[in-house]
Structure 1
Amino acid sequence: MKKIIIMLGLIAVSVSSCSDYIEEDSRSYVPADATYKTATGFQLLVNSNYAWLKGIYGGNPWLFEAGTDMYAEGRTPEPAGLSQYALLIPSSDNVADLYNSCYQQIQAVNKTVYYSTVTEQTPNINTLVGEARYLRANAYFLLVQTYGGVPIVLDNITTPVLSFTRNTAEEVYTQIIADLDFALANVGTASYATAGKVNKRAVNDLLAKVYLTRGYESFGKADDFSKAAAYADAAIAGQTLAISFDQLFKPGNDLNAETIFSVQYDKASTSTDPTKLGNNQFYYFSSYLGGAETGAPLRSYNLCPTDYALGLYEKGDARWNATFMTEILEGPETTNGVTKTILYYPYYRSSNPASLKVRHFYEPKWFTPADKTAWMTANASRLASTFVYHPWGEYSAAHTLIKNLDCYTIPVKKFDDPDPTTPSSTGPVSTRDIIVSRLGETYLVAAEAYLKAGNPATGLDRLNEVRRRAGVANATLAQFNIDYILDERGRELLGEYKRWFDLKRTGTLVARASAHNYKIKEANFVGVDGKLKILRPIPQTVLDLNQNKDFPQNPGY
């Protein structure tokens, strides 16, 4: 079996803690081997597998979102290699992030699979192993999309392995599907909102994404798209999109009926080390909102929406106001007996919202001069003394080249955490869940799968369910193509750690990123060997530490 070296950090990094995903523990100095051979100890081991998701999703999101058509840097530099491609090399910053964290997840699952054969046998052993193998499949799916073929590691490694061989992408997909087939046959059916564990719906959802993605590959099977459609429909299970879009991401509502799978956090359990044990999702996709004295959330000025992303929305689309903080409000807040004017957070916290003043307003694309006049007249009494009106076209990522001030790109509010564990001056910390899979996306997966399988009418029905919930007119069959689906995914899923994978899957990365990201030109993708940088490079540290030097780098590097 092909293996990867321990020196990548497969077992060295300690797991983040949370109340939902219980960590491994030593059971009061009882050796781990003895602990895991008991039913209770084995359950703790399985629970710890979930916690490794925090290492994959909880940190910097560059490998998920940077260098796409939807987001570009504002005034804060992003890693140049991942965001612009011209400087992308195997030693570039953050290239190894997913490689390391996914293999940490894989090694944790391999340990679980091993102990499942020697632990106390109970009726739910296969259920627990199914949950773990879903997590391993998810890690390999992220790896194969990002880096192409990678080593398949299925052993519980306890001693360093210093030489490893690269499997093909086709082999990795075969392993992913094997893990998911086992999971589907064995995991439970309890509601995710109730149990917080992998269930059959989550497995069906991931199988749909895997078959859809493999279908685009040269080694894809003839029935991949039809299987993707069938698995997506199984995950949908007839459920309509009944929750209003603004409620999907309302703080405190992360475990709603449309959440299929997520990385779960809990404020109380991260209090021992909040700056490390929370996540950074809310920190990105916005402008910097001012210093700590404003009381506003700390934001990075990275991954700011492009003109293309902002222009996707039409009048009446409920996702516009639910996705973006179109008005930045100010109001009084009292802390330790001291009252001062706070920016942004009063939107969530104020007991008297009618009294709040508007500091910034971002005009939507569809506003006419008459609309502006009407808005200013209707809101005259609400305007702060330092009010700024941002016209359409003057608050995208690229506008920072012209006017580089706080609040001069529109904030994304979907991931806001108005009850953070630390003050904004401490750093970017959120204990909101990171939603990995939700029903709205599953409808769009089904739409794409049916289109690619040659059944566009059914695919259009799935897509129009998403548009119905958004409050906009149905798309027509004449409009329905991959570009339209990518636009709809942009509207529905902005910021949700999907975009680079969407463009890579559909073969549109080069064209769309170079057309819509002001930092990227098509020539940026051309590598030293004349081939395009479609995959990310195998990290240089992986190549350096491997004693088997017959390990090919990806094209372009």
Structure 2
Amino acid sequence: MKKIKYIAISALLAFCSCSDFLDEELKSSLAPENTYTNTHGFEVGVTGLYEYARSEFNTWGGEFNGFSHGQATPVEVFQIGTDIMFTNTDPLLVSFGNLSYTPLSHYVNSWWKFGYGLASNANLILEYSEHADVDWDNPTDKAGFQAEARFFRAYAYRYLVYLYGDIPWVDKVERDFRVDFTRTPKAEVLNHMIEDLKFAAGNLPEDPDAVLPGRLTKWAALHLLSEVYLMAGMNAEAEDAARQVIDSHKFELMKDRFGTHTKEPGDVFSDMFKENNQNRNTAGNKETIWVMQLEYNVVGGGGESEDWALRAYNPSYFSIDGFTIADSLGGRGVAQLIPFPWWIDKNSGFYEAEDIRNSDYNIKRNWYYNDPRSEKYGQKAEITEELWKAKKLYPAITKFFYGVQDKGGDEGYGGCTKDRIKFRLSETYLLLAEALMNQGRTDEAAEAINEVRLRAKASKITGAQVTKDFLADERIRELIGEEMRRFTLCRLGLLKERVLRYNTDAAPRWNDKHWLWPIPQDVINSNTGSAFPQNPGWD
């Protein structure tokens, strides 16, 4: 949502870990009792939830961030140690890439804090919304704000359940210092999340054209509900939730070029990720269901520390003699994530020849020396195994390229500050396919997958081809860099199998304990009033 009110974060509470992961730090006169008294106050607070949620991308902070991981590439940690990416650069990421992380590792702690911080702030809004003396502008305001808060609470627990398994379910504001939390079974937490999302779906706006860019609708809640049902093994319910989104006809797979860059070379898939093309209201992108607002240089948008996907996914080509940093080559990539050749190499056969997701507009495989001072200027640079392993040159996903024309011409700018798609209809089709596959209805699952493949100009598949492996592959082709890869493989039950098959860095260290992250050691140490066991294998 553009024009995020910075005051919103001051109205929220800040939380840390375990005995203090639910303790509060009130911010000046904007304490909740002074803010949550009328519709405007709740608008401020709920806007703060959007700010906090998008801080999942935040690296080094910033003046108005709801949360900061305090390190580079926080969401990219879910791409390594899987089947698609490796890393040989940032020491913090290396430990997750080769599975040497521990209960003391930074991201093990920061993602716990992120999840409980967001959930706790949602709980605060839910509590104060029940006060009898709130001055609501409209009769529907209370349920509407509660719907947004309950969506974000479920969204927060999504991270916590995927990463840590059984975790405390906390649905109220904890004002007393506690050291006696216990772990709630994962199945019970998922049931609470389902109830939250059902409420959200029933009380969020239905018309995506009638809300501000980035604001939640019923359909975002149903999309996430479909995934949570899959997490819970409730496949018929997951099918129903996904079908509601698809059958609403509020959204459509984009099949013709659109947006602000149609006069430039490209295709409809690359248009999806060009700057200023993410929102339906402004760019006509009717495929996107929910978009986090990170646009550069607008009030409430993103800053240089917000999203470092650009640095993470793009090679450090400029370290090769004959190259210089250029926006057209993806800016200043530093290659924290390096793709395994098995799926992206031009000779791998992973993509069909006509699949536009494999076009030059979507995967950059042809690199030409661009430094006019060099004798090599204009010549093609060959991608060698040595350059690939050294993170200097390899095929790059162009989803995270960006334009710098509005950034003062700074082609070394580090952020990827364009709006970030969180949910889009192509993934809804793939969630539907997963639900159908799990019910043994593979012919119908193939039909859902084919909706996505036909837009990409890939051939149709049959029900006999539908397997968990095929679906995992198709999600790479469609959603690489958008999905949290670790989450997908855990949900499909494929993490171990595909790490051992494809990840030469992680395979030697694989242990079944790696299905879950460890509970942060600080959480266990400080919870002295009740047993809080570590995840199996991490003691």
**Partner of residue 508, structure 1:** 494
Contact 1:262–1:435 (Cα < 8 Å) also in 2: yes
Gaps of at least 5 residues in structure 2 are 1-15, 60-73, 256-267, 280-284
**Given the superposition, is the C-alpha separation of residues 410 and 77 from structure 1 closer, same or farther in structure 2, using an over 3 Å criterion?**
farther
**Given the superposition, is the C-alpha separation of residues 549 and 533 from structure 1 closer, same or farther in structure 2, using an over 3 Å criterion?**
farther
CA distance in 2, matches of 1:387, 1:193: 50
| Cα deviation 1:412-466 (Å, max 9, x = unaligned) | 2102221375776876312212221111111111111111112111111000011
Superposition map of 1:336-347 within 5 A: none
- Amino acid across the alignment from 1:497: E
- Residue 251 of structure 1, aligned match among 275, 294, 303: 275
**Partner of residue 116, structure 2:** 103
**Partner of residue 35, structure 1:** 35
Contact 1:57–1:434 (Cα < 8 Å) also in 2: no
- Amino acid across the alignment from 2:338: C
Contact 2:338–2:391 (Cα < 8 Å) also in 1: no
**Given the superposition, is the C-alpha separation of residues 81 and 549 from structure 1 closer, same or farther in structure 2, using an over 3 Å criterion?**
farther
Superposition map of 1:130-209 within 5 A: 130-191=147-208, 194-195=211-212, 196-209=214-227
| Cα deviation 1:176-225 (Å, max 9, x = unaligned) | 0111111111111121685231111111101110111211xxxxxxxx11
- Amino acid across the alignment from 1:500: R
Contact 2:313–2:397 (Cα < 8 Å) also in 1: yes
User: What secondary structure, in the 3-state scheme, does the structure 1 residue paired with 2:336 have?
Assistant: coil
Contact 2:443–2:464 (Cα < 8 Å) also in 1: no
Aligned-pair CA distance for 1:168: 0.9
Superposition map of 1:435-514 within 5 A: 435-514=421-500
Contact 1:62–1:83 (Cα < 8 Å) also in 2: no
Aligned-pair CA distance for 1:125: 1.2
Matched, 1:538 2:538: no
**Partner of residue 434, structure 1:** 420
Relative to the length of structure 1, the TM-score reads 0.78
| Cα deviation 1:280-310 (Å, max 9, x = unaligned) | 2222122113269634522221221111221
Q: May I ask how many residue pairs the two structures share in their alignment?
A: 473
Contact 1:448–1:459 (Cα < 8 Å) also in 2: yes
**Given the superposition, is the C-alpha separation of residues 246 and 11 from structure 1 closer, same or farther in structure 2, using an over 3 Å criterion?**
farther
- Amino acid across the alignment from 2:364: M
**Partner of residue 336, structure 2:** 302
| Cα deviation 1:12-35 (Å, max 9, x = unaligned) | 69xxxxxxxxxxx97xx5654222
User: What secondary structure, in the 3-state scheme, does the structure 2 residue paired with 1:80 have?
Assistant: helix
- Amino acid across the alignment from 2:274: K
**Partner of residue 245, structure 2:** 235
User: What secondary structure, in the 3-state scheme, does the structure 2 residue paired with 1:496 have?
Assistant: coil
Contact 1:74–1:287 (Cα < 8 Å) also in 2: no
| Cα deviation 1:64-93 (Å, max 9, x = unaligned) | 2121111111555552332112x2321123
| Cα deviation 1:333-353 (Å, max 9, x = unaligned) | xxxxxxx869xxxxxxxxxxx
**Partner of residue 221, structure 1:** none
**Given the superposition, is the C-alpha separation of residues 63 and 96 from structure 1 closer, same or farther in structure 2, using an over 3 Å criterion?**
farther
- Amino acid across the alignment from 1:83: G
Cα-Cα RMSD:
3.0
CA distance in 2, matches of 1:94, 1:82: 9
**Partner of residue 380, structure 2:** 388
Aligned-pair CA distance for 1:409: 1.6
Relative to the length of structure 2, the TM-score reads 0.80
- Residue 285 of structure 1, aligned match among 296, 313, 318: 313
**Partner of residue 4, structure 2:** none
User: What secondary structure, in the 3-state scheme, does the structure 2 residue paired with 1:262 have?
Assistant: strand
CA distance in 2, matches of 1:384, 1:258: 42
**Given the superposition, is the C-alpha separation of residues 483 and 533 from structure 1 closer, same or farther in structure 2, using an over 3 Å criterion?**
same
Superposition map of 1:368-447 within 5 A: 385=377, 387-390=379-382, 394=384, 400-401=388-389, 404=390, 406=392, 408-419=393-404, 421=407, 428-447=414-433
Contact 1:464–1:474 (Cα < 8 Å) also in 2: yes
- Amino acid across the alignment from 2:521: Q
CA distance in 2, matches of 1:248, 1:295: 21
**Given the superposition, is the C-alpha separation of residues 91 and 4 from structure 1 closer, same or farther in structure 2, using an over 3 Å criterion?**
closer
- Residue 225 of structure 1, aligned match among 230, 235, 242: 235
Gaps of at least 5 residues in structure 1 are 14-24, 216-223, 332-339, 343-358, 360-382
Percent identity, aligned pairs only, is 27
- Amino acid across the alignment from 1:502: T
CA distance in 2, matches of 1:388, 1:58: 36
CA distance in 2, matches of 1:169, 1:405: 39
CA distance in 2, matches of 1:80, 1:74: 6
CA distance in 2, matches of 1:251, 1:283: 16
Matched, 1:53 2:53: yes
Aligned-pair CA distance for 1:240: 4.1
Matched, 1:264 2:308: no
